């Protein structure tokens, strides 16, 4: 029984993977992301300059061989800061999306499975959170709790999990009606078993897609907050903060703004492309 | 909100203890928290959102009265820009499904969704104001001042609407009545106008309320970049100034706008979709 379940699961995944490989846009996204993640892990160890090291005699110099992307107003290498910033942006994005996933899947599948009054109350509570303007809440929370990576992640996940919960609930409601769940129920399977053996594995595609599409919005929020000056504190680099620093001298030293801006765009684009590809791959019916 | 460290009177220069005390008394900050709270609620019920702590003689009501028309103008221009171009590109993509124009429009749409508004804003500012010098770089006043910020604000919603329009139009185009219309010999434009547009617009409509709210909140940063004296700019500066009453007042105001825009969407929905009207009438009868 268990063995058969496993093979079905695997063939579903291999199928989706095959479909994904045929989608050039999604694969481009995947390659860009792997490149960015590997670079952000290893490159900071190999750069000559660190993100906090200042060379005042070299300040605001344009891109050159010594400083690939130029330097900022304190003579710090933008190249080094970009890769340190990549660590922070990617870390915040991925962690926030992961926490959203854990809370959202647990909440949504529980609400969907229990049904009745419990479900009603749980989803109304989620609706109340959902109707709050997202950015406003995040800004207020960051102001209350003080700056830092931890605060940003907490502030984002506090309202971010609801989207996940709604999607998981909808999927659970759909799956609950299917014959194999009925079969499992009539064989006397416990709620826990149905949840972990049948519901969640079948939601897998939707969950992965949603997570992949949540990450860019989390990265966006982080850079938005840093841009407003509510993000990480100096001297730690983050793409949003670097862009915000560069804004003042846009007319004279445009590379200070454009380098981090280009990286934010590329990362978000790659995640969006991959997410769309995943959605098509997991659910070919959507792609008409 | 009062638990935010620091208060509006914290300055670099030390203020004598007595002045501090009288400042606190003037604004009622020396009273216990619950007294302050009830006073605020009383003001709120009489639509008085309290004075600004930072700018003497200014009240939240005044700020909303001055800032809101500006923000609303910008928001509406951006909103209709997004609606027009979004539906335009979405329709083109749907009618050319699987061909070059479809791919182009959808790649542009994913691109548009991947670029944060503050980056669009600064790029536009750099190209059109600094390099080409054909449009004013910042501030508010003439029609030309609206163009750049409105474009920056509308980029994301345009892409979003285009994708949704395409998805729902592709679905509608497969319906049999479209086949009938085609068989009757109607032109593409007539099919689009009479049969496709209204039927495919309903799913898009349900998102417009939230989208409108996101345009308004997105305008925080765009207003700050372009130095526009609207509500978004006030919101940002009042957060950094710890101006409690203004933060609170503007938050309430924004939530109010959000509620109104969602309600309006629901009402339009009611008039556009006869099925909902039917259900409503049946409900009343039973």
Letter string b/e over residues A165-198, b meaning 16 or more CB atoms within 10 A of that residue's CB = bbbbbebbeebbeeeebeeeeeeeeeeeebbebb
pLDDT over 70 at B7, yes or no: no
Which residues of chain B does A274 touch, with a Cβ-Cβ cutoff of 8 Å? none
Q: Is A252 exposed, middle or buried (0-12, 13-18, 19+ CB in 10 A)?
A: exposed
What tokens does A271 get? 């995640």
**Cα(A65)–Cα(A56) distance, integer angstroms:** 18
pLDDT band at A77 (very low <50, low <70, confident <90, very high): confident
pLDDT at B160: 85
pLDDT over 50 at A141, yes or no: yes
Q: Is A12 exposed, middle or buried (0-12, 13-18, 19+ CB in 10 A)?
A: middle
CA torsion, ordered A60, A63, A67, A70, to nearest 10 deg: 30
pLDDT over 70 at B42, yes or no: no
Residue of A nearest to B224 (CA): A228
ipTM of the complex: 0.71
User: B51: helix, coil or strand?
Assistant: strand
pLDDT in tens, A127-136: 777 766 666 7
Nearest CA distance, A83 vs chain B (angstrom)? 19
pLDDT in tens, B172-204: 888 888 888 878 888 878 888 777 877 778 778
Q: Which of B3, B115, B258 sits opposite A133 (nearest CB)?
A: B258
Which residues of chain A does B249 touch, with a Cβ-Cβ cutoff of 8 Å? none
Nearest CA distance, B11 vs chain A (angstrom)? 18
Does A252 reach chain B within 8 Å, measured CB to CB?
no
3-state secondary structure chain A: CHHHHHHHHHHHHHHHHHHHHCCHHHHHHHHHHHHHHHHHHHHHHHCCCCCCCCCHHHCCCCCCCCCCCCECCCCCEHHHHHHHHHHHHHHHHHHHHHHHHHHHHHHHHHHHHHCHHHHHHHHHHHHHHHHCCHHHHHHHHHHHHCCCHHHHHHHHHHHHHHHHHHHHHHHHHHHHCCHHHHHHHHCCCCHHHHHHHHHHHHHHHHHHHHHHHHHHHHHHHHHHHHHHCCCCCCCCCCHHHHHHHHHCCCCCCCHHHHHHHHHHHHHHHHHHHHHHHHHHHHCHHHCC
pLDDT band at A254 (very low <50, low <70, confident <90, very high): confident
pLDDT at A287: 47
Vertex B161, ends B182 and B274: CA angle to 5°? 60
CB contact under 8 A, B239 and A143: yes
What tokens does B135 get? 């449009």
**Cα(B223)–Cα(A134) distance, integer angstroms:** 18
Q: Is the overall model pTM greater than 0.90, yes or no?
A: no
Note if the bond before A139 is cis, omega within 30 degrees.
Answer: no
pLDDT at B223: 81
What distances in angstroms separate CA A201 from CA A20, A96, A99, B166, B279, one per listed residue? 19, 22, 18, 31, 37
Question: What is the Cβ-side half-sphere exposure of residue A258, based on CA atoms within 13 angstroms?
Answer: 15
Which residues of chain A does B207 touch, with a Cβ-Cβ cutoff of 8 Å? none
pLDDT band at A103 (very low <50, low <70, confident <90, very high): very high
User: B59: helix, coil or strand?
Assistant: strand
pLDDT in tens, A164-176: 888 888 888 888 8
Size of interface A-B (CB pairs under 8 A): 84
**Cα(B89)–Cα(B170) distance, integer angstroms:** 13
pLDDT band at B168 (very low <50, low <70, confident <90, very high): confident
Does B225 reach chain A within 8 Å, measured CB to CB?
yes
Which residues of chain B does A144 touch, with a Cβ-Cβ cutoff of 8 Å? 1, 3-4
CB A78 within 8 A of CB A90: no
């Amino acid at each position: 029984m268990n063995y058969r379940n496993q093979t079905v699961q695997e063939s579903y995944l291999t199928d989706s993977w095959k479909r994904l490989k045929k989608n050039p846009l999604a694969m481009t996204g995947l390659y860009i992301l792997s490149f960015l993640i590997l670079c952000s892990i290893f490159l900071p160890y190999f750069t000559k300059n660190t993100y906090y090291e200042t060379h005042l005699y070299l300040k605001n110099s344009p891109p050159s061989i010594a400083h690939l992307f130029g330097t900022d107003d304190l003579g710090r290498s933008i190249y080094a800061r970009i890769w340190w910033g990549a660590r922070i942006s990617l870390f915040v994005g991925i962690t926030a999306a992961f926490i959203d996933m854990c809370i959202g899947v647990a909440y949504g599948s529980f609400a969907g499975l229990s049904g009745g009054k419990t479900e009603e109350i749980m989803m109304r509570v989620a609706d109340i959170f959902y109707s709050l303007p997202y950015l406003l809440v995040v800004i207020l929370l960051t102001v209350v709790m003080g700056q830092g990576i931890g605060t940003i992640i907490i502030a984002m996940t506090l309202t971010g999990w609801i989207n996940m919960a709604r999607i998981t609930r909808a999927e659970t409601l759909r799956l609950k009606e299917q014959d194999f769940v009925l079969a499992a129920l009539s064989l006397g399977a416990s709620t826990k078993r149905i949840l972990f053996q049948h519901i969640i594995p079948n939601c897998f595609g939707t969950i992965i897609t949603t997570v992949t599409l949540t990450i860019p919005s989390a990265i966006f929020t982080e850079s938005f907050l840093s841009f407003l000056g509510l993000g990480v504190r100096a001297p730690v680099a983050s793409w949003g903060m670097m862009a915000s620093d560069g804004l003042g001298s846009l007319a004279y030293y445009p590379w200070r703004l454009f380098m981090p801006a280009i990286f934010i765009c590329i990362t978000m684009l790659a995640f969006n492309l991959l997410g769309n590809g995943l959605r098509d791959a997991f659910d070919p019916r959507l792609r008409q | 909100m009062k638990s935010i460290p620091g208060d509006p009177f914290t300055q670099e220069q030390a203020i004598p203890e007595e002045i501090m005390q009288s400042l606190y008394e003037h604004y009622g900050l020396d009273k216990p928290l619950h007294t302050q709270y009830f006073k605020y609620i009383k003001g709120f019920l009489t639509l008085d959102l309290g004075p600004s702590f930072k700018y003497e003689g200014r009240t939240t009501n005044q700020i909303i009265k001055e800032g809101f028309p500006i923000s609303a103008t910008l928001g509406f221009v951006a909103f209709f820009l997004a609606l027009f171009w979004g539906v335009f590109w979405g329709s083109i993509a749907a009618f050319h499904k699987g061909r070059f124009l479809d791919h182009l429009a959808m790649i542009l749409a994913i691109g548009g969704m991947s670029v944060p508004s503050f980056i669009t804003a600064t790029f536009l500012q750099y190209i059109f104001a600094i390099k080409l010098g054909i449009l004013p770089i910042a501030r508010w006043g003439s029609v030309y001042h609206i163009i750049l910020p409105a474009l920056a604000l509308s980029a994301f919603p345009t892409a979003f609407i285009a994708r949704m329009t395409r998805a729902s139009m592709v679905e509608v185009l497969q319906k049999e009545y479209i086949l009938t219309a085609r068989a009757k010999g109607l032109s593409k434009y007539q099919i689009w106008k009479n049969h496709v547009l209204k039927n495919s617009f309903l799913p898009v409509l349900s998102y417009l309320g939230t989208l409108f709210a996101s345009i308004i909140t997105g305008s925080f940063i765009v207003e700050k970049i372009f130095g526009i004296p609207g509500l978004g700019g006030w919101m940002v500066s009042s957060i950094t100034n710890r101006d409690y009453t203004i933060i609170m007042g503007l938050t309430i105001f924004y939530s109010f706008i959000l509620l109104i825009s969602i309600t309006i969407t629901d009402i339009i929905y009611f008039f556009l979709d006869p099925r909902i009207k039917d259900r409503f009438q049946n409900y009343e009868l039973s």
